[in-house]
Structure formats: structure tokens, C-alpha cells
Amino acid sequence: MADLALFDFDGTLTTGETFPAFVRSVVPGARQRAARLRLAPLVVAYRLGLASGTRVRAAVVREGLAGMDAAAFEAAAADWSRRELPAWLRPQALQRLRTHRERGDTVLVVSGNFEALLRPWAEAEGVQVAGSRLEVRDGGLTGRYAGPQCVLAEKVVRIRELVDPSGFARIHAYGDTPEDRPMLLLADVAHYLPRGWPAGLASDRID
């Protein structure tokens, strides 16, 4: 019986947060400047630990993406994924993911980031992905998420939609923030990596 390997994306598989970089690439400059002013108090609250990342992302989506053509968003996400995303990946983390895949484990990337952004990369790597989705109405983005963001307990909900965790010999999980905690608690072998990957963790040996 094979194992299940669960990976957070931003900060775990990458060297930084790709969400803001991607959003900046698709939001026109004038709209960015106006949104930056409106969101400044919330950003300060987030940096002081008084506002959650979930709340900040929801505000960014509302201010930056409401009204954007949904097909254009999907195309921009796919283009950014292919063109920019590879430079953000941690080599040792990518090696670990591929080691799991090559030994026959089921690999699932579970992220609060946009599923549309991660799907092209995940398909190219031969792994499954669960991410946050945006609400679409009449062909345009409403500025709201379609359902909960894929963080905290929702990560476990989305995992169970894709696989039956009881059908694996062991579950491995990799994350770097408290938003990953429910997913890490699901695992038999959990790696919490808030300061990056320690030496040796990316080796072919998997505990």
C-alpha cells in the first residue's frame, strides 16, 4: 500500500509568497495604487497580528480582481504559472515532492493560493492540487471566493474530497504556517518548516 504526501505550496515548496506577486501582475497599476491606500490599515493590522491572512486575501481579491473577465484571469494564471512559478520553487522541496511521486506515493498540493494558478504546474509535475477558487458570475469575477479559502480545516475537507486518507499506509505532510496545522495533524509524519527546509530533509530517505 502506497503512502499519501501532502504539501502546502507558498513558503513550503516556494521561497516566498507567490499570491501577491501574481496579483500584482494582473491588476492594472492605477487600480493597484487605489487599492493600496484602501487596504493600508488592514495590512498594518495583519503585520501586527491583529488581522488574519484569510481576511487580507479576501480584501485583495475584492479590491483587485472584482469585475475581471474570468477567462482572462484563468489564462493569465496559466501563463504566470508556466513562465514565473519555476523560479520560486525550492530545489530541495521539489526534490522531496518528486521523490514521493517516483516511489509511487499519491502526492497532493493543498494551498490557500488560487487553484487556477497552481493547476498547470501541478499537472506538469504529475500531482494533484487543491486550492482556493474564485466566484464567477456572467463570465466575470465577483471579487469573492467560491466557498471557503483552502486554509486551516478547509484543507482537510478538500483533501478528503480528493482521496480517502484511510486508504494509505502512511500520510506525510509538509507545511510552514499555522494555516497548515489541521493538515499536519492528519499526518503520521508531519514536517513543520517555518524557517525553511533543514539540511538532509530533501534526501531520498523518507521516514
pLDDT digits (tens, 9 = 90+) for 96-129: 999 999 999 999 999 999 999 999 999 999 999 9
Binned at pLDDT 50, 70 and 90, residue 39 comes out as confident
The mean-pLDDT minimum among 12-16, 36-40, 74-78, 133-137 falls in: 36-40
Chain-centroid distance, C-alpha 85: 12
Write the burial class of residue 71 (CB in 10 Å: 0-12 exposed, 13-18 middle, 19+ buried).
Answer: exposed
Determine the topology of domain 4-192 in CATH: Rossmann fold (3.40.50)
Note the pLDDT tens digit of each residue in 170-207: 999 999 999 999 999 999 999 999 988 987 786 667 76
Question: What is the DSSP pairing of strand 4-7 with strand 171-175?
Answer: parallel
Q: From residue 161, how far is each of 6, 34, 178 by CA, in Å?
A: 14, 38, 22
Computed over every residue of the chain, the mean pLDDT equals 94
Distance CA 172, CA 186 (A): 9
Q: Report pTM.
A: 0.94
